[in-house]
Structure 1
Amino acid sequence: MANNIDENAKVYGADYQLAKRYGVTSFIAIILIAAIILLLFRYESSRIIQESAKQSNESLTIATEYALNDHFVMYLNLIKLNKKKRGEMPFDPLLARAIHKMIKNTNVDRVKLYDTKGQVAYSSDPKAYDDDDEDNDGFKSAMAGFPRTVLNYRDSFTLFSDNDKDVNLVQTFVPIRVDDNSPVLGVMEIYYDISDYISHAMRTIIILMLTTLLLMLFLYTFLLMHIKRSERIIEDQNRITREKKALLEFLTAKMINAQEDEKKRIAFDLHEDVVQTLSGVKMQLEKYMLTLDQQEEEGEVNQISTEIVPMLQNAAHKIRSVAIDLRPPSLDDFGLKAALNSLVSECHTEMTGLEVVVEFLVEEEDISTERKAILYRLVKEILKAICFDQQMTGKVRFVFERITGGLSMTAAVASEQLSDLDDADMPEYLNLMEERSILSGGEFSRKPKYGNTFEVRSVWEL
């Protein structure tokens, strides 16, 4: 586990910034996605425009040629018979007027008639008489008897194209002949302008592009704010984790030191009291054994009963005191209430000016054996410090109650001797209660000091 953490730290670094990396990568992704959407829409819109323009212009051209076929056949035959140059053969004024009226206020740019050599025989635009389409694929296809539509398409993305001739014009070439089985006499061509469609498509593309960018930027901003908030939450959680880890290390060290101090105290009590008493008994017994022959039996019994027996009784009493201090039998035999009442009685015997109150608002059966030992030890340490070490006067109140999903212990200490302590400070025995509560899996909290009263609370899950 530690190795994985170290490897991740090497890969990402200690100052890994989630929001910065996400912001850069997501911004690049948004630009790429917007460009892809724009290109796809441009391709699809241009394809639709081209297909629809080709179909409509081809239908228009075929219908026009079919309607005016007789006039066109007659005109091309006259040119062939008279051998007139381009533009010299007069066109029927009524027919020319009809053609101009047909293309007026429409997207039809011009109408052309070609002879079999690809030269312009007639054009609704006089400037177009000099054009030759002999090599045009559309003209060749029409001369072979097959209509052909050609699109010279250029949008804003091909603005710098070198081919500026007939930009955005649909050119449809259809053969002119008497009937389907007769030879082709010429070609009719209609130019259809789709610039308006292209402009409309480009406006739509620009609007779509701007809308897509705005929506993606809005989403990007929203997600970036969410990432930054998540990053702050992670940083706060990491900070809390570090603080808890430091506190746990501190409390663990304190616990080890407390255990060592407890061992030293027990060793000191056993060595200085019990061992000394037993050593005295041993010396007395050795003394009596050396002088046993010189003493009368009655005198020996009197010496043992008046000197040695009291020493043995005193040693047994001290051993019992040490054992009770480590684990009182009443806690296992009679329960937590009885053990705490015994502590309160001892405290009242030692200090008459201190009132100790213990309230149980929870059924003792709901408290586990391990939790009872912790609660007993907390109360004992507080009362030992208050009654025997500092000999305080005032009032101490302990309340045990059941809360939602857990058990709480509240300790309130009120005394004039606490008036010199600041609000931020707590007595040492309450600090010890905090350490033991956290080490036992509980949570510790305190209320602000009011008057001469300190009130703290520990909560454990049941």
Structure 2
Amino acid sequence: MEAKRQAKIHLVRFFGLTSFISISVTALLIIVFIRGLIVSSVEEISEQGNSTLTRAAVAFFSDELNAFIEQAEQNGEEDAAAQMVSYHLRRHIHDLLRETSVVRVKIYDWSGRVIYSTKSEQIGRMQEGNLGFAAAISGNETTRILYRDTFNLFDEETSEDNLVQTYVPIHSPDKSNVIGVFEIYSDVNDQIKDAGTNVAGLIIGVVVVMVILFGILLFNIKRAERIVDDKQRENRERQHTLEVLSSKMLTAQEDEKKRIANELHEDVVQTLVAVKFHLESQLQQLSNDTDSSKDEPEQIVKVLQDAARKIRAVAVDLRNPSLDDFGLRTTVNSMVKEYSSVSDDLNFVATVQIPEDEIPLERKTIIYRILSETLTAICKLGYTAGTIKIDLKQSPEGMELGIETNWRNEIGRDDLGAVDGFASMREKTILSGGDFYSVRNDSGSITRLSVWPN
């Protein structure tokens, strides 16, 4: 319970961690999204450039391509196709490789056979299942980008460079049908490197911005935590001040009651007793008188005795002398015996487990007043056939006063709140700086607890 009283809101730990996770996820999503845009833009530009270059090359030396494909089909598969390339076609391909980013050229006939390649070992291979060739032989141009370490099934190799691959159909001179496919591989390493540099710069920029944002958030969170801590400290100080004032008020009330009780007992009661003695003496002197003269003083004595008894009862109620003379344990035991004699149906049991010298005087007064008012209220409310257990002990949370009730016949609603009979217990506990709790036990009984922190 002391921990609850000293509870602290750790804003930096909670909101700092939450902000860090949120900012990190946001930064990651931004980086992934913008990287995707950059890569997509590089792909689109590279593919468009390579497609334009391939169409221009096919249009520029279409006559040589038509003648070469026709000659390759006439000579058959056994001839060295590389040797059949005309001088003009060879020069055009050489210029294409030298003056542009083109790194490889392939020419397919209508069946999917490679009849020319800048890589001579690929000449003669059948690639009719190549999706790019299949689309191009059908009259549709196809372009795709191959990244580093992408496995190329039809070339049966692992690409070492970032390449853009374009398949363009080669039409017959009359444009009536497709007689072959022209393929160009262009190197886009420089574009990919530039894109990587841009992505790296993006990552650094986003990280720097997010770090600055997190620093600002952390600063504001720490500032808010300091404000909250200051307010909590002020509230604790105010609560402590109220508790001290309440305790002093209760102590002052008890001191005033003690003073009044002493005056009633030492002054008023003693005066009445003296009057009683004088009347008794006078009664002895008048013993030889008539019976009628004797009755009046006797009546006066009875009235004075009754008055003295009532005043003594008021004095005890204001301040029980046994609390100062014999201590709390004896007073509580005496109180339990007194209330047990009042009600035959209620069973009172009291246990005081704390040594007398470890209980402060003001705490004794509060505990006595709580028990006196609570037990009186219980008896007045008419609770019957039950057991009331009173236990005063020292717990890890502090000094603990428990009143356990187990009614067989309840009057009214006896829930976990402070019902009639326990309202005074809750009020005096809180005013004296303690905490009030109600606990329902496994057996069905209810224990009201007054706990004063150490």
The alignment's TM-score, normalised by the length of structure 2, stands at 0.49
Normalising by the residue count of structure 1, what TM-score does the alignment of the two structures yield? 0.49
